[in-house]
A and B are shown apart, each in its own frame.
Chain A
Amino acid sequence: MKKIKVVDKLKSSNLLSSVKGEILYQYILAQLDQMNSITLDFSDYEYISSTFLNSTFGKLLVSKNWTKEQFFDMIKVIGLSDDDMSNLMLSVQNALFKNDLLLKGQNIEDVYLSNLSY
Chain B
Amino acid sequence: MFNKEMYHSIKPASIESIAKIKADLIECEDEYLFSTLKFARPYVVVYLDQLFRKYSVLNNILFLPKERKIHKYLHQVGFEFLRGHCPEIPDFNEECIIKLKFFNGSEEEVEEQALEWINKDILKFISSIDKMLKRKIVNNIWEIIQNSLLHSENLNGISACGQLYPKKKYFELAFYDFGIGIPGKIKKHFISKLCLNDCECIKWAMDKGNSTKNVPNAGMGLYFLREFIKMNGGYFQLISNSGFLGHIHSSYEDMVRLHNLSDGTLVNIRINY
Q: A residues within 8 Å of B by Cβ?
A: 14, 16-19, 46-51, 53-55, 57-59, 61-62, 81, 83-84, 87, 90-91, 94-99, 102, 108-109, 112-113, 116, 118
Contact = CB atoms under 8 A, between A and B. Distances in A.
Interface residues of B, number: 32
B142 A49 contact: yes
Given A47-B142, A50-B143, A118-B203, A59 B217 contact: yes
Contacts of A99: 216
Contacts, number: 97
Contacts of B13: none
Contact of B111 (A17, A62, A87, A112): A17
Given A94-B208, A95-B216, A81 B115 contact: no
Contacts of B196: 116, 118
Contact of B146 (A16, A47, A113, A116): A16
B136 interface: yes
Nearest to A60: B217
Contact of B108 (A17, A48, A84, A95): A17
Nearest to B208: A94
A96 B219 CA distance: 13
A18 B149 CA distance: 12
Given A49-B142, A49-B143, A98-B209, A62 B217 contact: yes
B146 A58 contact: no
Nearest to B220: A50
A17 B114 CA distance: 11
Contacts of A81: 132, 135
A48 B217 contact: no
A83 B204 CA distance: 24
Given A19-B108, A112-B210, A91 B194 contact: no
Contacts of B146: 16-17, 49, 51
Contacts of A97: 209, 216
A59 B213 CA distance: 13
A50 B214 contact: no
Contact of B136 (A16, A50, A83): A83
